[in-house]
Structure 1
Amino acid sequence: MDFDAVLIAPRRAASVAAGHWQDRTINDYLAACVQERPDATALTALSIERQHVTRFTWRELARMADRVALGLSRLGIVAGDVVSCQLPNGWHLSVLYLACARLGAVLNPVMPIFRERELSFMLAHAHSKVVVVPKAFRGFDHAQMLQGLRDALPALRHVVVVDGEGDDSFEALLSGPPREDDADAAAILLRSLPGPDDVTQLIYTSGTTGEPKGVMHTANTLFSNIVAYAGRLQLSGDDVVLMASPMAHQTGFMYGLMMPVMLGAHAVLQDIWDPARAAALIREQGVTFTMGSTPFLTDLARVVAESGTPVPSLRTFLCAGAPIPGALVERARSALGATIVSAWGMSENGAVTTTLPDDAEARSSTTDGCPLPGVELRVVDGADADLPAGQTGRLLVRACSNFGGYLQRPHLNNTDAEGWFDTGDLARLDAHGYLRIAGRSKDVIIRGGENIPVLEVETLLYRHPAVAQVAIVAYPDARLGERACAFVVPRPGQSIDMAGMVAWLRQQKMALQYIPEKLVVRDALPATPAGKIQKFRLREMLLGATD
């Protein structure tokens, strides 16, 4: 793969001079952990489906990374190749990234919820040579799905199956044979170590422009954010980090996989969200820090309060993905005894803002925090003129952690010659420099921290034989933050109901989480004189503000 990370070179000198880019890769940090604390616990991974816990010390983790790297090499993976994985949180995903980093390969994590429609685009666009999937997860046969896609993916050489039983299993191909003892092991592992400006991660957005965009990151862009983030939150190698948010998102990948290695901290991974089990893990493992979207915080606070059993080790819960209601901050603080930190970020740059641990509690519900070190913000009008505090406009970000660009889509990078990235979001800054996201100029609904690609769902519904017009908008939900509602105008003489809409989208192999949860059928939709649907009026209808 020819990675066109055009946004890296122009920033290098200034980023290094400012101390933001420290030119260290995941290999450097892992080597330091092995040297300084070889027998300390590095990783505890809980599989709720299999009711199994796997643990690694730093020495064991590095040895397994070497073994899997050599297995990938035997499969033909070399520097610059893309290895995709559709894995739940667990040791296989963590080790796979560390193994790719040994070879200079690029890891492309994709969400387990994705199905044929999303995967066929992403894997083809990335030219993925190896894909690692679970045999089955949450009742779905991922291995069978990938086998069905192979003919449409000419670059794909191998599908590797976690918990598989044949020659294509993860154990047979990657984690079983002790290849690290082979005579040529050291030469293979040392010949293509990546540099800090080489692309190391490819992660796809949810496709707000009609198809997903591949976000390219390097060690420098990722770690410049993680160093600042850990510093802001006063995290160290003495912390225990619980990650139940998906590691195929930047939340899980950066702060559940990479950050513990950078700190030398113990990572605890949970594959399926179960708040009662999460509370037990916090107590059993002495978890001090975790993060997730609003539903995670809501659920955890509820089960701890209902059980009456505290989680005394938990010091901080960082909540991002949607605004946190003030009442939830108060309930969570009381139930968990932890500081509730709010934050905002994107796949393109990781966390951009967070509240401070010693901020007043109200700041977590009324703002999305202030910029991390190495981050600058501007709120501008349509002419790119800066707006005063309190006024809402387009949010621009210039950060040490800004991405290297969109793979094979440089015309969509939305970054000007001075390094300002147009986020596509609307926001305002207060007099103290704290940010508040006010809306999204790009048409996305955030459901439980998961971006729903509205345009793609609308496009599929327009293909339904009974649909003449469709518009999808968000409506508020106490637990998930937002849910999706489809407003539909049927074709003359046709009809559509909720069951029919769901069945149609499922036939199109769309991820279940993207399917609207409400359907409103109308004779017409409000529109401008030019015919553009007025979605703000549809939102008002859902809130009962108008008919």
Structure 2
Amino acid sequence: MKTDNRQDHDYLFLDRLERADARKTAVVDLNGGRPVALTFGELNELSDRAAQGLIDLGVEAGENVAYLLPNGWEFVVLTLAIWKAGAVACPMLPALREREIPFIMRKSNSKVLIIAEEHKGFRYGELIGRILGELPGMRSLITIKPGSPARRKTSLGGLAAQAPDRARLGRRRPGASAASQLLFTSGTTGEPKGVVHTHGTLGHGVAAHVEALGLTPDDRVWIPSPMAHQTGFLYGMSLALYLGATQICQSVWQMDTARAAIEEHGATFVQAAMPFLADLTRVSAPPKGLGAFVATGAPVPRKLAQEAAEKLSCKVVGGWGSTESCMISVGSVRAYGEASWNTDGRAIAGRDMKVTDEEGRTLPPGKEGLFKVRTPAMFTAYLDHPEWYEAAVDPDGFFNTGDLAVIDEEGNLRLTGRVKDIINRGGMKVPVAEVENVLYQMDRLRDVAIVGMPDERLNERICAYVSLRNAEDTLRLDELTAYLKSQGVAKIYWPERLEVIGDMPRTTTGKIQKFILRQSIADKLGAELQWTSRAE
């Protein structure tokens, strides 16, 4: 469905790119010793050439192309190149390792894998060499080494070496209904879900967000969130492309780089998880210049929002979205007040949200229930699992988010809990069932329960409760994480605290009562904090 009478091409990123001022700076990449800048004209030309390179590799229209890259100009160029080749962008988080990469390659049926040579000291070529036997469908491996975009024959792993056949590219040009993005998001089934979006759904997702926040081409969009995550991909990179605005890319979270993005390169807008806001606010001499910070992933604590508004001199607003639905609500920057940051905002134009009971009856304001949303930016499929889509989206087009929420009399949304058993660590969703399933294979463990524990900076951290087969045995956290590492589980999903208990609290039907464990660790952390305060 559409929210107005504009044509599809008004929303499509490739069309918006062509209409941008070719002389204007499109990308500023702050990685490495010196910033790298590309104009819109250079971005268009490079992505044309890289698209030709992909076609010459045999990439077909509609084919998924997997790439594992940090934030930077290469990520932007390759995303556009994949789209111009008529293919589907399938980005992977740089933190993924032996366990996740083969799964995504198999599920996406990607015949091409594009990797960074190195990121944060990790060499991806060595990793791929170890798992080649698990990638039987991979036809081409492209390794991108650091280099200047001006060196067309060697940059982008050689993909941009040849001049493009623009007539051929024109025949590959995707329409609004063509698949655009395949993102894998953690679920409760133990198997990551492949979320499929079209060029039209992603374009609608950005267009309404831009209007809600009053953003313009004069804004400068800072992207510290991973571009392989929907926050950085859609509300960083793609939002800047839609606006014809400059995007400022940061791949490693360092305060000096963040300060440079804001104070030297003029960043005015950022959408990111709350930990970024906390770090910016609490550093000595917080950087000034941001106009708006949209904090997603968790409601902003009152104290932090007040400190941020004062110390950063910017407006802090909350918001809610998902990989499947894109952004549904956002706080107001025009009628700025406590509800802007102390809630998840009001519905964006053209988006519907409601709270229902288990029978699907809409509940009145102030009542907690199942949170459901409807939007023209809704995903179109779960890859290879139509039954998951049918279970999640009802005949009226409402997506059951799996979250619990309250909508107040003024229409402000407050997420109150989750039906899904997923930990929200700084805006990154942890696949609890998958981690538990791996740990259950550890011989020394009898029972495992992964729960979130409260954290002031990240909202939640990961706590593992375990009971041991041998009551006289002991287990340390580093032994637990070493096992997860040996099984190829990404470090971002490792527990950060271990609690060894005799027996798990259970219901009469045998299910582990995780709410008791969550309360137990929250109480223990609170007691430890009080003890530390008294000791000081």
Q: Does 1:381 align with 2:357?
A: yes
TM-score, reference length from structure 1: 0.91
Q: Displacement of 1:495 after TM fit?
A: 3.4
Correspondence for 2:495: 516
Deviations 1:260-290 (A, max 9, x none): 1111101111111112321122111111111
Please, which of 421, 436, 444 is the counterpart of residue 422 of structure 2? 444
Q: Secondary structure at the match of 1:544?
A: helix
Correspondence for 1:330: 306
State the alpha-carbon separation in 2 of the partners of residues 429 and 109 from structure 1: 34
Query: Does structure 2 conserve the Cα–Cα contact (< 8 Å) formed by 1:324 and 1:364?
Result: no
Q: Aligned partner of 2:187: which letter? A: G
Please, which of 329, 332, 346 is the counterpart of residue 370 of structure 1? 346
Q: Displacement of 1:16 after TM fit?
A: 7.1
Note closer, same or farther for the CA distance 1:54–1:205 as it changes in structure 2 (3 Å cut): same
Q: Displacement of 1:442 after TM fit?
A: 0.6
Please, which of 117, 132, 150 is the counterpart of residue 99 of structure 2? 117
Correspondence for 2:259: 279
Q: Does 1:299 align with 2:279?
A: yes
State the alpha-carbon separation in 1 of the partners of residues 380 and 10 from structure 2: 15
Query: Does structure 1 conserve the Cα–Cα contact (< 8 Å) formed by 2:3 and 2:350?
Result: no
Deviations 1:387-429 (A, max 9, x none): 1111111111111111011111111111111111111111110
Q: Which runs of 5+ in 1 are unaligned?
A: 1-13
Q: Does 1:173 align with 2:155?
A: no
Q: Displacement of 1:496 after TM fit?
A: 2.1
Q: Displacement of 1:74 after TM fit?
A: 1.1
State the alpha-carbon separation in 1 of the partners of residues 432 and 322 from structure 2: 17
Query: Does structure 2 conserve the Cα–Cα contact (< 8 Å) formed by 1:15 and 1:21?
Result: no
Correspondence for 2:16: 29
Query: Does structure 1 conserve the Cα–Cα contact (< 8 Å) formed by 2:269 and 2:291?
Result: yes
Correspondence for 1:348: 324
Q: Displacement of 1:58 after TM fit?
A: 0.9
State the alpha-carbon separation in 1 of the partners of residues 202 and 255 from structure 2: 29
Q: Aligned partner of 1:534: which letter? A: Q
Query: Does structure 1 conserve the Cα–Cα contact (< 8 Å) formed by 2:463 and 2:495?
Result: yes
Query: Does structure 2 conserve the Cα–Cα contact (< 8 Å) formed by 1:23 and 1:220?
Result: no
Deviations 1:315-369 (A, max 9, x none): 1111111121110001111111000011111001211110100344322443101
Q: Secondary structure at the match of 1:84?
A: strand
Q: Does 1:188 align with 2:168?
A: yes
Correspondence for 2:197: 217
**Count of residue pairs the alignment pairs up:** 518
Q: Aligned partner of 1:389: which letter? A: P
Q: Aligned partner of 2:74: which letter? A: H
Q: Aligned partner of 2:271: which letter? A: M
Alignment of 1:9-88 (within 5 A): 14-15=1-2, 24-33=11-20, 37-47=21-31, 50-88=32-70
Query: Does structure 2 conserve the Cα–Cα contact (< 8 Å) formed by 1:38 and 1:59?
Result: yes
State the alpha-carbon separation in 2 of the partners of residues 39 and 343 from structure 1: 34
Q: Displacement of 1:141 after TM fit?
A: 1.3
State the alpha-carbon separation in 2 of the partners of residues 41 and 480 from structure 1: 33
Please, which of 383, 387, 411 is the counterpart of residue 387 of structure 2? 411
State the alpha-carbon separation in 1 of the partners of residues 486 and 321 from structure 2: 33
Correspondence for 1:339: 315
State the alpha-carbon separation in 2 of the partners of residues 479 and 457 from structure 1: 23
State the alpha-carbon separation in 2 of the partners of residues 449 and 543 from structure 1: 19
State the alpha-carbon separation in 2 of the partners of residues 126 and 243 from structure 1: 26
Please, which of 113, 128, 131 is the counterpart of residue 149 of structure 1? 131
Correspondence for 1:492: 470
Q: Displacement of 1:170 after TM fit?
A: 5.1
TM-score, reference length from structure 2: 0.93
Q: Aligned partner of 1:101: which letter? A: W
Q: Displacement of 1:155 after TM fit?
A: 2.2
Q: Aligned partner of 2:231: which letter? A: T
Q: Secondary structure at the match of 1:318?
A: strand
State the alpha-carbon separation in 2 of the partners of residues 436 and 529 from structure 1: 32
Alignment of 1:90-101 (within 5 A): 90-101=72-83
Alpha carbon RMSD of aligned pairs, Å?
Answer: 1.9
State the alpha-carbon separation in 1 of the partners of residues 166 and 7 from structure 2: 31
Query: Does structure 2 conserve the Cα–Cα contact (< 8 Å) formed by 1:425 and 1:439?
Result: yes
Q: Does 1:431 align with 2:409?
A: yes
Q: Aligned partner of 2:401: which letter? A: T
Q: Does 1:401 align with 2:380?
A: no
Correspondence for 2:245: 265
Q: Aligned partner of 1:174: which letter? A: L
